[in-house]
């Protein structure tokens, strides 16, 4: 089971080899409310850590999803176009956003682990 | 939400009930208001279309005008026929300014010995100052801002009212009366802001939470927050002041000419009458329209509207997701030449011009009670 890491912007990523799957956390989907649209990057797009990689729209507002690490988009979750509510229902599973090829393993290791992220959320971030 | 955040906000008489129901409270017009309950905006929206939703709209301003000249005095401030309003009837109208812009929109009910007004929360202090400044010495303006206002909206609203307040069920659309609901003394109107049949119920603040609990105990009723209130009224093509209508829009541009009766069109005598009557006669330069994006991306308020050639022809004033139409929907103003339903336009979302169509309003047919 791959280790899941977290950002301060409430994205998660786990690595399989050098490919990381990226989504938003359960806390993030709960804060957003009902997701009605997701705009995903083109496969091949180069993303930078903290840069905008996707957009998630709830009934009320649009929010950016940032790349957790530098990388290149190798796949996106096309199923979200028809069923954006999957982001609410299964944020850590079927509600994933994109897969990115990650160059720097050390940068992955430096992200928050789950206990650290839980503490971060509990402190009111 | 932190305690310090809460302290600067006013609370409605239902505040503790909202907290107990697990509402997410947000600041709105100086009040802590429930934007949604744990079920979420889409489920709340769909419940109001399928059965009945209960809304706390106590933040809105309830105002009473008294005096023998109240109706004729109010006609100097609004373009609707108030003098001709039947007893117990309600009319939708707007306070206009000298340029024909809209200071606020409101409901006016004829209570025989008084006029009962309901104005928007964010404008209520300014509206009362405006009324006091212009109605004249013969009219008194009483505020009842402490009074609670609940809205029960949806196809099951009349059935629910039949169980709890049968005196109110004979009310026709856009009429009101004093009625007992769940044993409480209320003023009930057959009106609302969702496009559905329903009631708006004014009640003493001391009884508001008990009344709300009695209504919520009905199996057809679920609480609905401001998030779904906004998406429901957008689907119904209803204007939100400060967004779709304001001092830069006229009632005619907004498609509200139907609120101006024959006598007022003939006689004028309301602020901005020159421009408003001219626009009735020769048409406005722009019109409020419905917009349906072809894709899935919602176009929010402020989005630029382009014609097929890429020229800017207007802006979105309300936009989001219509849970009943299950697609993004918006309203905005466009140049009259582009306002015909079916016209292809483009909406600029995140820098990209996206294909969209002008469509008729409302997005969802109104299902008001037949009077």
CATH number at residue B354: 2.40.30.110
Determine, yes or no, domain membership for A125: no
Count how many residues are written for chain B. Answer: 371
pLDDT at B4: 44
CB atoms under 10 Å from CB of B3, counted, come to 6
Q: Determine whether the interchain pair B41/A33 forms a contact, defined as Cβ–Cβ distance below 8 Å.
A: yes
Determine, yes or no, domain membership for A70: yes
Q: What is the CATH number of the domain that holds B172?
A: 3.30.1360.120
Helices (H), chain B: 3-7, 15-20, 41-50, 70-75, 124-134, 157-164, 205-216, 226-235, 262-267, 273-282
Which residue among B296, B321, B350 sits closest to A59, beta carbon to beta carbon? B321
Q: ipTM, 2 decimals?
A: 0.91
CB atoms under 10 Å from CB of B203, counted, come to 24
Q: Which residue has the tokens 């466009």?
A: B334
Q: What is the CATH number of the domain that holds B69?
A: 3.30.70.1400
DSSP labels, B101-112:
-EEEEEEEEE-S
DSSP B190: S
Q: Are residues B353 and B295 in the same domain?
A: yes
pLDDT above 50 (res B3): no
Q: Which residue has the tokens 């309300």?
A: B318
Q: For residue A52, what is the nearest residue in chain B, using CA coordinates?
A: B350
- Number of structural domains (chain B) is 3
pLDDT at B304: 98
pLDDT digits (tens, 9 = 90+) for B161-205: 999 999 999 999 999 999 999 999 999 999 999 999 999 999 999
pLDDT digits (tens, 9 = 90+) for B234-269: 999 999 999 999 999 999 999 999 999 999 999 999
Q: Are residues B77 and B136 in the same domain?
A: yes
Q: What is the CATH number of the domain that holds A102?
A: 2.40.50.100
Best of A34, A42, A84, A124 to substitute, by most chain B Cβ atoms within 10 angstroms, is A34
The answer to whether residues B293 and A36 touch, using CB atoms and an 8 Å cutoff, is no
Determine, yes or no, domain membership for B204: yes
> Quick one: pLDDT band at residue B6, thresholds 50, 70, 90?
low
Distance CA B145, CA B189 (A): 18
Q: Are residues B222 and B328 in the same domain?
A: no
Q: Are residues B215 and B342 in the same domain?
A: no
Q: Whole domain around residue A70: which residue ranges?
A: 4-120
Determine, yes or no, domain membership for B84: yes
Determine, yes or no, domain membership for A21: yes
- Residue at which a domain ends, from B235, B264, B298: B235
For residue B19, CA distances in Å to A34, A94, B14, B232, B240 come to 20, 32, 9, 23, 26
Characterize the bridge pairing of strands B102-110 and B90-96.
Answer: antiparallel
pLDDT at B5: 54
pLDDT at B35: 97
- Averaged over successive runs of 10 residues, the pLDDT of chain A (125 residues) comes to 90 96 97 97 97 96 96 98 96 98 93 97 84
Q: Whole domain around residue B355: which residue ranges?
A: 285-371
Determine, yes or no, domain membership for A14: yes
Interface of A with B (CB under 8 A): 33-34, 36-37, 39, 55, 57-62, 81, 84-85, 124
pLDDT at A10: 98
Q: Determine whether the interchain pair B296/A84 forms a contact, defined as Cβ–Cβ distance below 8 Å.
A: yes
Alpha-carbon distance A7 to nearest alpha carbon in chain B (angstroms): 22
pLDDT at A124: 80
Which residue among B297, B320, B350 sits closest to A59, beta carbon to beta carbon? B320
Q: Which residue has the tokens 């709890």?
A: B164
Distance CA B76, CA B135 (A): 8
pLDDT above 50 (res B2): no
Rounded to 10 degrees, the C-alpha dihedral B50/B54/B60/B64 comes to 100
Identify all chain A residues contacting B41, using CB atoms and an 8 Å cutoff: 33-34, 58-60
Q: Are residues B123 and B44 in the same domain?
A: no
Determine, yes or no, domain membership for A99: yes
Q: Are residues B273 and B324 in the same domain?
A: no
pLDDT digits (tens, 9 = 90+) for B23-49: 999 999 999 999 999 999 999 999 999
Determine, yes or no, domain membership for A69: yes
Task: Report the greatest alpha carbon distance in chain B.
Answer: 62
Q: Are residues B40 and B83 in the same domain?
A: no
Identify all chain A residues contacting B296, using CB atoms and an 8 Å cutoff: 36-37, 81, 84
Q: For residue A80, what is the nearest residue in chain B, using CA coordinates?
A: B296
Q: Are residues B214 and B363 in the same domain?
A: no
Determine, yes or no, domain membership for B242: no
Q: Are residues B181 and B131 in the same domain?
A: no
Q: Determine whether the interchain pair B41/A59 forms a contact, defined as Cβ–Cβ distance below 8 Å.
A: yes
Q: Which helix (H) or strand (E) holds A120?
A: helix A114-122
Determine, yes or no, domain membership for B241: no
pLDDT digits (tens, 9 = 90+) for B200-220: 999 999 999 999 999 999 999
Q: Are residues B162 and B47 in the same domain?
A: yes
Number of H helices, E strands in chain A: 5, 9
pLDDT digits (tens, 9 = 90+) for B270-316: 999 999 999 999 999 999 999 999 999 999 999 999 999 999 999 99
Task: Please give, one letter per residue, the 3-state secondary structure of B57-79.
Answer: CCCCEEEEEECCCHHHHHHCCCC
Distance CA B298, CA A57 (A): 8
DSSP B21: T
Q: Determine whether the interchain pair B297/A34 forms a contact, defined as Cβ–Cβ distance below 8 Å.
A: no
pLDDT digits (tens, 9 = 90+) for B68-102: 999 999 999 999 999 999 999 999 999 999 999 99
Determine, yes or no, domain membership for B289: yes
Distance CA B155, CA B159 (A): 8
> Quick one: pLDDT band at residue B371, thresholds 50, 70, 90?
low
Which residue among B2, B41, B300 sits closest to A34, beta carbon to beta carbon? B41
- Number of structural domains (chain A) is 1
């Amino acid at each position: 089971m791959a280790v899941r890491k977290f950002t301060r912007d409430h994205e998660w990523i786990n690595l399989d080899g050098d490919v990381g799957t990226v989504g938003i956390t359960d806390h993030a989907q709960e804060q957003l409310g009902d997701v009605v649209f997701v705009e995903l990057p083109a496969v091949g797009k180069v993303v930078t850590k903290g840069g905008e990689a996707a957009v998630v729209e709830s009934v009320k507002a649009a929010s950016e999803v940032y790349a957790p690490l530098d990388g290149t988009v190798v796949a996106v979750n096309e199923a979200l176009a028809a069923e954006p509510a999957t982001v609410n229902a299964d944020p850590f599973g079927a509600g994933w956003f994109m897969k990115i090829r990650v160059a720097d393993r050390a940068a992955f290791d430096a992200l928050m682990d789950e206990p650290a992220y839980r503490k971060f959320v509990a402190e009111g971030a | 939400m932190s305690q310090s955040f809460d302290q600067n906000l006013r609370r409605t008489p239902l505040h503790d009930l909202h907290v107990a129901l697990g509402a997410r409270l947000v600041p709105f017009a100086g009040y802590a208001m429930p934007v949604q309950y744990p079920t979420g905006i889409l489920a709340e929206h769909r419940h109001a279309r399928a059965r009945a939703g209960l809304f706390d709209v106590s933040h809105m301003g309830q105002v009473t005008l008294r005096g023998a000249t109240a109706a004729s005095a109010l006609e100097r401030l609004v373009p609707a026929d108030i003098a001709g309003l039947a007893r117990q009837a309600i009319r939708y109208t707007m306070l206009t300014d000298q340029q024909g812009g809209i200071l606020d929109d409101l409901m006016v009910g004829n209570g025989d010995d008084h006029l009962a007004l309901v104005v928007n929360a964010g404008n209520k202090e300014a509206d009362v100052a405006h009324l006091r400044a212009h109605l004249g010495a013969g009219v008194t303006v009483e505020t009842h801002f402490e009074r609670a206002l609940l809205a029960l909206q949806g196809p099951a609203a009349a059935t629910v009212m039949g169980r709890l307040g049968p005196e109110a069920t004979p009310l026709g659309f856009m009429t009101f009366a004093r009625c007992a609901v769940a044993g409480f003394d209320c003023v009930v109107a057959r009106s609302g802001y969702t496009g559905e049949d329903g009631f708006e119920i004014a009640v003493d603040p001391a009884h508001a939470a008990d009344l709300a609990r009695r209504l919520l105990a009905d199996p057809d009723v679920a609480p609905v927050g401001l998030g779904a209130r906004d998406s429901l009224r957008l689907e119904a093509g209803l204007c939100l002041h400060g967004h779709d209508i304001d001092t830069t829009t006229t009632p005619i541009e907004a498609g509200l000419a139907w609120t101006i009766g024959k006598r007022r069109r003939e006689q004028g005598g309301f602020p901005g009458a020159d421009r408003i009557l001219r626009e009735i006669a020769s048409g406005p330069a722009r019109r409020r329209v419905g917009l349906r994006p072809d894709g899935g991306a919602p176009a929010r308020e402020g989005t630029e509207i382009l014609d097929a050639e890429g020229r800017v022809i207007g802006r979105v004033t309300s936009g989001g997701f219509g849970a009943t139409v299950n697609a993004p929907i918006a309203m905005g103003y466009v140049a009259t030449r582009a306002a015909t339903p079916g016209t292809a336009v483009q909406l600029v979302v995140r820098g990209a011009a996206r294909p969209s169509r002008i469509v008729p309003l409302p997005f969802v047919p109104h299902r008001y009670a037949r009077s």
